[in-house]
């Protein structure tokens, strides 16, 4: 039995011995005893330190003394001393690291070593004189080596970032080639408290390490590269990168263009456009297209089309709100105005306004301003027609209107014009500047300034800034406030000291609180994203006596460190929230937490939990908005659990904030994913309909209804871009929205944070092809909310006869038995309403209830769904989206930035960001096949108004062809029938000029540029099929002529291909002619047999592949070639791939063409190609006549270079009567009738009528 040691005195006594051997033994023996006897050993610490400092003492003994002193100081809690001695312990410390039981001590020392090393490196990098202790450097190098050898790469990268050791990151990547580690390093410096200078240094260092993205692998690091480029916003770095992509990966260049537009500022994008090279003959079209993408207008138009197509606005909700709120009350009128604007944001749908013109007419003064400005929210992005839509309201050239109240409509229209052009406002800023300078009244100046600020956000235009400053110096409270906001928006993120100095100086001089608030917020915008560069100004503002300037200081702090989760900034805001003397400042401090923490929404509920229970209602209100903004669109249950009790708060504006925040959190959630979704919607309806509820709370519930159904239920509220970078427009929009507390018209700016959530796939021509992708989740998880149903009218119910429960049991058993035997009786439907009602003897008698229940079998919900292009895909749904391998179109970058989580319900809102989706450039896996595209037709242009409504009603948007309902209906045209085809243009013009709608059968009549110019009445062409090369569709669009096509029915074309082929090679037409002519020779030809022969297909698209499939039935050997055909695609179609056209022509017994006619395929079969055919070969052309040189074909057939041809198509159709082909005996002809069949024409004619009706209704279908 081993006796337990009760003291270290005996071993300590050996330290007093003169013999060094005893001292060395004592030191080694004491080290393992420290955890038990550290207090006793600490009394001899001076002696232990002296032994360590004794240079005559052996090195191993000195190391042991240092380790012993380090461990004693560790247990004493003196970690700095413990680290100092551990550094002197050398090899003894390394040995201790391997000793069992010392893990906690070693971990603490290593942690402190890392902290000291980071501090020393930071001082060294900042120019300090102190250098890193070599012993400390050695420990850190050991830590790096151990992390790398054990595969703890992220831990090593974290230490390297904090200690400014970028060489370690390079070393790790060179060993692993793991791109995700570079992305991790990038996120580490972007999402932590790194200074701007160091952040940029790291990003510039790791950028060259990223491998060049490629189209084929969906480039998983495209999101990271995009975020990096947006953060740096350096054209000198971005231009060479884009140029390299243009040369080798054009589709990726387009993808980066769209992604940069998502998060890039206006001046950055403008610099990119101007710095892009012109390019040579090959690359110039690509650069031109990329330059157009970088204007931002392409993205805006695509999202506008997406929102218009998928609009699911529930008008019954708006009607219910309108009926509940008093229209003559300004606050209620504004509430419904904003609700309608949010619900229809970007959809261009003003149906509710047109249906409620009387309600709209009740708007007066600033309510009229808000109602007019709301048109900008509804039509946001429709920049092409913004001035037309708002034309009747905008100030006229003669100056402001003298009509009473018209100035409010004019000011609201100018503000609306800015909202419409937000994100692409460079074209409208000149107009708004002129309007601002010419405006005389402060209301119009107010609207012009706000519009100019929103449209010119981040443009950094000093001329615009000076124009706004001129308005500011008029010292008008209303105009000056808007000028203050706009000055900050124009200079967004510049940290320009001189403008800030001027603005703050004027803020201290003026007596108008509105101007001070505008300038204070403008200052915050100028320091957006500037982090430490704003510190001095923040310090000055927070020390001001004026609470409004301190209010601005709070927002300056929030916006300067937006998205960084900076600990010092968070700590400072929390301090202000509980200590400032102004309720406004305290509320703003709590709200501002959202702007710091929005990248980690799951943290926000924990941070504001206690604040939400504050005694101060302003702090509680700030907590609601902080949760709403930071957790918007996440459906985060922790946030909902805090907000729901706050909807019952005793203070009205706290309830208002809770309603609004819940609407933000629940936007784009479903009843399946969020249990409280339906209950919250019902609560809104109840509050709005309760006339005893406070108006402020009802106002909040109305706005919340708008948020929860924003953008036709197709947008989310997100302060992050799809790549994970800060969404500048959204952050600014939400900061402005928070000012609705003081000024309702600023609530319109919430639409700047609305992010459309859809997948919009485009090919290399920036057209949207028709295709499906897969959502690998149950449809109900991400379904649209159910449509509201109107309340049913109450009917008098018949009183049911009561029976005892025993009787009910007997009936139930009989019914169950009959059903089991298959003899269940059909119940009379009328009798069901008069059924007896059981009168139970006991409340808990469940037997009869269970027996009477007939549970219908519920079909299992599918675990996935197919969704077409331009479909809604919510952020939480993105990880579940996939493109099937056999899908013709594949994205050039990954759809989502994160993989699918195991649980849909619990994944929402817990990740840092769920980027991806949006506009996707697609690579076409089968370019030879004919493509079907989605028509991206702009919304109908509103009818011009004859006079501006005095009350400021919204203008109705009408049909393409305006109809005056008061005029008598026009008489129908005279009956006519044309059976000829005219090629003379003058004759065509004479025949077609009167008509506004023309139906074109296939490609017989050529509607070229010159003909279209001579048909002034033409508004609509209805053609058959989804492709018509006889119509100059591009020029028709330029002239405003809509062209629609139709689908087809059946397999008519494939059937005709084989009909013509068999008729040709079997000589059926010759035999038919001989029999009918009375030729006594019964059989006059010798057909060729197909089995074992070779069929050569030029083109292997949809029709070519089907032709090959049928050929196998006849035992034909099938070979294929086309300019873009690959061996893989040929193999997939079961066709032998041949490398050249010449080889195919030499080997084939029958050649059949299946190509789309284009500039590159015209005369793809030339004279020299025909000479390569076998003497016994046949040529079949059912595609387009010009694919073959027709003159050369005629000559070859006349000379019988090959056996014959079957021709369905010709250069000129109908084929002229004197054409030489008609006289050839070795040709089988058909009159381009491959599309003709009863099934096909039924679809052609039926959909042509649908297209005409759709056009007349202002909703054209199948636009080409």
DSSP letters, 947-970, are S--TT-PPPPP--SS---TTSPPP
pLDDT of residue 789: 79
Query: Which strand (E) or helix (H) includes residue 559?
Result: helix 547-560
- Is 1056 a catalytic site residue? no
* Nearest-angstrom CA–CA distance, 553 and 570: 14
- Please, what is the Cα angle at 985 between 980 and 991, to 5 degrees? 55
> Exposure pattern of 445-474 as b/e (b: 16+ CB <10 Å)?
bbbbbbbbbbbbbbbbbeebbebbbebbee
pLDDT of residue 850: 42
pLDDT digits (tens, 9 = 90+) for 362-379: 999 999 999 999 999 999
What is the rounded average pLDDT of the residues 100-106?
87
Tokens representing 729 are: 């427009």
> Beta strands 768-769 and 933-934: pairing type?
antiparallel
Tokens representing 13 are: 């006594």
* Nearest-angstrom CA–CA distance, 360 and 373: 13
* Nearest-angstrom CA–CA distance, 1201 and 1184: 22
Tokens 């059912």 — which residue? 1182
* Nearest-angstrom CA–CA distance, 395 and 443: 12
Residues 6+ positions from 425 with CB-CB distance below 8 Å:
266, 383, 418, 454, 455, 456, 457, 459
pLDDT of residue 946: 34
Tokens representing 1129 are: 């695609």
* Nearest-angstrom CA–CA distance, 18 and 23: 8
DSSP letters, 1087-1121, are PPP-TT-EEEEE--SHHHHHHHHHHGGGT-EEEEE
What is the pTM for the complete model shown? Answer: 0.70
Q: Contact, 666 vs 651, CB < 8 A?
A: no
pLDDT of residue 380: 93
Q: Contact, 34 vs 72, CB < 8 A?
A: yes
pLDDT of residue 1243: 86
Tokens representing 281 are: 């003959």
Tokens representing 123 are: 């001082």
Q: Kindly name the residue from 124, 1143, 1213, 1250 that is annotated as catalytic.
A: 1213
Tokens 């629609």 — which residue? 1044
pLDDT confidence bin for 17, thresholds 50/70/90: confident
pLDDT confidence bin for 958, thresholds 50/70/90: very low
Residue 640 has pLDDT above 50, yes or no: yes
* Nearest-angstrom CA–CA distance, 864 and 774: 7
pLDDT digits (tens, 9 = 90+) for 1016-1043: 889 999 998 888 878 888 888 888 899 9
* Nearest-angstrom CA–CA distance, 590 and 660: 16
> Beta strands 1204-1207 and 1178-1181: pairing type?
parallel
Tokens representing 113 are: 């070593």
Task: Look at 344-348, 522-526, 711-715, 1008-1012 and tell me which has the smallest mean pLDDT.
Answer: 1008-1012
What is the rounded average pLDDT of the residues 1161-1185?
93
pLDDT of residue 938: 56
Q: Kindly name the residue from 620, 1056, 1232, 1262 that is annotated as catalytic.
A: 1232
* Nearest-angstrom CA–CA distance, 430 and 434: 6
Query: Which strand (E) or helix (H) includes residue 1042?
Result: strand 1042-1044
Residue 447 has pLDDT above 50, yes or no: yes
Q: Contact, 1043 vs 1036, CB < 8 A?
A: yes
Q: Tell me how far CA of residue 933 lies from CA of 770, 1100, 1263, in angstroms.
A: 5, 20, 9
* DSSP helix, strand, coil percent of the chain (3-state; round to 5): 55, 5, 40
Q: Which residue has the higher pLDDT, 265 or 622?
A: 622
Cβ-based neighbour number of residue 345 at 10 Å: 31
pLDDT of residue 1037: 86
* Widest Cα–Cα separation across the chain: 140
Residue 384 has pLDDT above 90, yes or no: no
Q: Contact, 851 vs 820, CB < 8 A?
A: no
Q: Which residue has the higher pLDDT, 914 or 466?
A: 466
Residue 847 has pLDDT above 50, yes or no: no
- Is 671 a catalytic site residue? no
% the chain with pLDDT above 90: 50
Residues 6+ positions from 1169 with CB-CB distance below 8 Å:
1141, 1142, 1145
Length of the chain: 1264
pLDDT of residue 585: 97
Q: Is 949 left (phi over 0), alpha (psi -120 to 50) or beta?
A: beta
Which residue, among 483, 545, 554, has the nearest Cα to 514 in the 3D structure? 483
Q: Which residue has the higher pLDDT, 245 or 957?
A: 245
What is the rounded average pLDDT of the residues 687-699?
94
pLDDT digits (tens, 9 = 90+) for 56-75: 888 888 888 888 999 899 99
Q: Contact, 1059 vs 1080, CB < 8 A?
A: no
3-state secondary structure at position 1264: coil
Residue 834 has pLDDT above 50, yes or no: no
Q: Contact, 342 vs 703, CB < 8 A?
A: yes
DSSP letters, 1023-1041, are ESSS--TTB-HHHHHHTT-
pLDDT of residue 15: 84
pLDDT digits (tens, 9 = 90+) for 316-366: 999 999 999 998 889 999 999 999 999 999 999 999 998 998 999 899 999
What is the rounded average pLDDT of the residues 1201-1224?
91
Residue 609 has pLDDT above 70, yes or no: yes
Q: Kindly name the residue from 270, 1184, 1208, 1262 that is annotated as catalytic.
A: 1184
pLDDT digits (tens, 9 = 90+) for 1147-1158: 999 999 999 888
Residue 712 has pLDDT above 90, yes or no: yes
1042, 1048, 1052, 1056: CA torsion to nearest 10: 20
Residue 148 has pLDDT above 80, yes or no: yes
Cβ-based neighbour number of residue 954 at 10 Å: 23
pLDDT of residue 127: 67
- Please, what is the Cα angle at 174 between 170 and 179, to 5 degrees? 85
Provide the mean pLDDT of the chain.
85
- Is 1213 a catalytic site residue? yes
- E strands, 793-851, are 802-804, 837-839
pLDDT of residue 901: 46
Tokens representing 1199 are: 């000379």
What letter does residue 930 receive in the DSSP assignment?
A: P
What is the rounded average pLDDT of the residues 551-564?
95
Q: Contact, 236 vs 270, CB < 8 A?
A: no
pLDDT of residue 216: 62
Which residue, among 583, 567, 577, 574, has the nearest Cα to 617 in the 3D structure? 583
pLDDT confidence bin for 312, thresholds 50/70/90: very high
Burial of 1230 (0-12, 13-18, 19+ CB in 10 A): middle
> Beta strands 865-868 and 772-775: pairing type?
antiparallel
Residue 782 has pLDDT above 70, yes or no: yes
What is the rounded average pLDDT of the residues 897-906?
48
Residue 771 — φ and ψ, nearest 5°?
-160, 165
Which residue, among 519, 591, 582, 570, has the nearest Cα to 545 in the 3D structure? 582
What is the rounded average pLDDT of the residues 176-198?
86
In sequence order, what are the beta bridge partners of 837? 802
pLDDT digits (tens, 9 = 90+) for 1072-1112: 888 888 888 888 888 999 999 999 999 998 889 999 999 99
pLDDT confidence bin for 218, thresholds 50/70/90: low
pLDDT of residue 689: 93
Task: Look at 472-481, 944-953, 986-995 and tell me which has the smallest mean pLDDT.
Answer: 944-953
Tokens representing 1160 are: 């590159």
Residue 466 has pLDDT above 90, yes or no: yes
């Amino acid at each position: 039995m081993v006796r337990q040691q009760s003291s270290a005195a005996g071993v300590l006594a050996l330290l007093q011995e003169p013999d060094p051997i005893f001292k060395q033994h004592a030191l080694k023996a004491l080290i393992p005893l420290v955890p038990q006897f550290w207090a006793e050993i600490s009394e001899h610490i001076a002696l232990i330190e002296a032994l360590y400092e004794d240079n005559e003492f052996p090195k191993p003994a000195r190391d042991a003394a240092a380790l012993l002193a380090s461990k004693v100081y560790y247990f004493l809690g003196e970690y700095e001393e413990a680290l100092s001695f551990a550094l002197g312990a050398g090899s003894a410390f390394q040995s201790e690291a391997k000793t069992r039981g010392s893990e906690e001590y070693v971990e603490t020392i290593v942690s402190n070593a890392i902290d000291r090393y980071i501090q020393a490196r930071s001082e060294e990098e900042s120019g300090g004189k102190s250098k890193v202790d070599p012993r400390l450097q050695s420990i850190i190098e050991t830590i790096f080596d151990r992390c790398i050898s054990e595969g703890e790469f992220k831990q090593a990268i974290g230490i390297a970032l904090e200690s400014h050791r970028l060489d370690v990151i390079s070393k790790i990547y060179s060993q692993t080639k793991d791109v995700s580690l570079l992305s991790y390093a990038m996120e580490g410096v972007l999402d932590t408290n790194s200074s701007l200078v160091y952040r940029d240094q790291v990003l510039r260092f790791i950028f060259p390490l990223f491998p060049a993205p490629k189209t084929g692998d969906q480039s998983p690091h495209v999101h990271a590269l995009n975020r990096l480029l947006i953060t740096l916003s350096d054209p000198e770095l971005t231009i060479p990168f884009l140029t390299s992509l243009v040369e080798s990966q054009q589709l990726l260049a387009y993808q980066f263009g769209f992604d940069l537009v998502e998060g890039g500022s206006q001046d950055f994008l403008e610099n990119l456009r101007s710095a892009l090279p012109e390019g040579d003959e090959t690359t110039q079209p690509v650069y031109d297209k990329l330059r157009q993408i970088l204007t931002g207008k392409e993205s805006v138009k695509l999202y506008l089309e997406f929102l218009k197509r998928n609009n699911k606005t529930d008008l019954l909700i708006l009607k219910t709100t309108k009926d509940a709120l008093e229209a003559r009350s300004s606050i209620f009128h504004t509430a419904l105005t904003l609700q309608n604007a949010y619900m229809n944001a970007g959809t261009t749908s003003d149906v509710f306004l047109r249906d409620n013109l009387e309600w709209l007419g009740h708007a007066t003064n600033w309510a009229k301003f808000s109602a007019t400005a709301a048109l900008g929210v509804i039509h946001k992005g429709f920049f092409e027609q913004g001035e037309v839509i708002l034309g009747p309201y905008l100030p006229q050239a003669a100056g402001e209107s003298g009509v009473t109240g018209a100035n409010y409509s004019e000011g609201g229209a100018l503000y609306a014009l800015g909202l419409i052009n937000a994100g692409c406002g460079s074209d409208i800023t000149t107009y708004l500047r002129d309007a601002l300078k010419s405006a005389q009244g402060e209301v119009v100046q107010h609207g012009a300034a706000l519009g100019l600020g929103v449209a010119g956000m981040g443009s950094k235009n000093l001329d615009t800034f000076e124009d706004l400053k001129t308005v500011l110096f008029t010292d008008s409270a209303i105009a000056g406030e808007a000028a203050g906001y706009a000055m900050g928006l124009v200079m967004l993120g510049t940290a320009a000291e001189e403008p800030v100095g001027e603005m703050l100086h004027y803020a201290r001089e003026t007596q108008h609180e509105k101007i001070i608030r505008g300038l204070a917020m403008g200052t915050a915008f100028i320091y957006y994203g500037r982090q430490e560069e704003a510190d001095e100004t923040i310090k000055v503002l927070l020390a001001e006596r004026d609470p409004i300037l301190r209010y601005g200081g709070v927002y300056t702090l929030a916006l300067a460190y937006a998205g960084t989760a900076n600990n010092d900034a968070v700590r400072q805001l929390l301090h202000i929230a509980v200590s400032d003397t102004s309720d406004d400042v305290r509320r703003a401090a709590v709200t501002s937490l959202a702007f710091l923490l929005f990248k980690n929404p799951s943290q926000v509920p924990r941070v504001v939990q206690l604040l939400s229970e504050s005694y101060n209602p302003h702090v509680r209100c700030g907590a609601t908005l902080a949760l709403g903004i930071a957790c918007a669109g996440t459906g985060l249950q922790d946030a909902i659990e805090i907000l729901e009790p706050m909807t019952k708060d005793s203070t009205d504006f706290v309830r208002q904030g809770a309603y609004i925040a819940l609407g933000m959190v629940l936007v784009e959630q479903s009843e399946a994913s969020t249990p409280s979704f339906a209950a919250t919607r019902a609560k809104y309806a109840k509050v709005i309909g309760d006339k005893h509820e406070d108006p402020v709370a009802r106002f909040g519930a109305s706005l919340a209804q708008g948020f929860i159904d924003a953008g036709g239920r197709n947008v989310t509220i997100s302060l992050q871009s799809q790549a994970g970078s800060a969404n500048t427009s959204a952050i600014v929009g939400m900061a402005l929205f928070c000012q609705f507390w003081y000024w309702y018209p600023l609530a319109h700016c919430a639409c700047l944070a609305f992010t459309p959530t859809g997948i919009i796939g485009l090919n290399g021509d920036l057209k949207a092809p028709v295709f499906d992708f897969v959502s690998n989740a149950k449809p109900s998880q991400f379904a649209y909310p159910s449509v509201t149903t109107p309340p049913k009218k109450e009917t008098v119910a018949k009183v049911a006869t009561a029976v005892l429960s025993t009787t009910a049991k007997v009936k139930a058993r009989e019914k169950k038995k009959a059903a089991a035997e298959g003899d269940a009786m059909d119940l009379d439907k009328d009798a069901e309403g008069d059924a007896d009602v059981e009168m139970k003897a006991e409340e808990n008698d469940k037997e009869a209830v269970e027996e009477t229940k007939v549970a219908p079998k519920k079909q299992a919900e599918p675990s996935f769904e197919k969704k077409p292009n331009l479909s809604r895909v919510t952020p939480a749904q993105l990880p579940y989206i996939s493109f099937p391998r056999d899908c013709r179109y594949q994205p050039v970058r990954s759809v989502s930035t994160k993989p699918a989580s195991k649980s849909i319900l619990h994944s929402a809102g817990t990740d840092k960001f769920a980027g991806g989706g949006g506009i996707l450039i697609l690579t076409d896996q089968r370019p030879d096949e004919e493509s079907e595209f989605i028509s991206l037709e702009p919304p109908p242009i509103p009818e011009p108004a004859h006079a501006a409504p005095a009350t400021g009603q919204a203008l109705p948007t009408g049909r393409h062809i305006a109809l005056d309902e008061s005029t008598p209906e026009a008489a129908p045209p005279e009956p006519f029938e044309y059976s000829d085809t005219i090629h003379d243009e003058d004759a065509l013009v004479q025949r077609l000029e009167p008509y506004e709608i023309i139906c074109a059968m296939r490609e017989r009549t050529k509607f070229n540029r010159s003909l279209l110019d001579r048909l002034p009445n033409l508004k609509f062409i209805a053609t058959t099929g989804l492709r018509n090369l006889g119509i100059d569709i591009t020029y028709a669009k330029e002239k405003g002529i809509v062209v629609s096509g139709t689908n087809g029915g059946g397999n008519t074309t494939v059937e005709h291909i084989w009909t013509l082929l068999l008729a040709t090679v079997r000589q059926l037409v010759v035999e038919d002619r001989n029999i009918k002519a009375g030729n006594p020779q019964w059989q006059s030809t010798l057909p060729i047999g197909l089995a074992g022969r070779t069929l050569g297909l030029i083109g292997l698209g949809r029709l070519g592949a089907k032709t090959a499939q049928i050929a196998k039935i006849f035992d034909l050997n099938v070979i294929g070639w086309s300019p873009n055909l690959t061996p893989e695609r040929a193999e997939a179609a079961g066709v032998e791939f041949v490398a050249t056209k010449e080889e195919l022509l030499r080997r084939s017994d029958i050649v059949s063409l299946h190509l789309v006619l284009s500039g590159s395929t015209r005369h793809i079969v030339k004279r020299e190609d025909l000479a390569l055919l076998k003497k016994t070969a046949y040529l079949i052309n059912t595609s387009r006549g010009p694919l073959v040189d027709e003159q050369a074909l005629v000559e070859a057939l006349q000379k019988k270079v090959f056996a014959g041809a079957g021709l369905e198509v010709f250069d000129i159709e109908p084929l002229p009567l004197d054409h030489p082909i008609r006289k050839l005996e070795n040709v089988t002809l058909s009159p381009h009738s491959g599309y003709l069949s009863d099934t096909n024409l039924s679809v052609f004619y039926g959909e042509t009528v649908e297209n005409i009706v759709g056009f007349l209704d202002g909703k054209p279908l199948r636009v080409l």
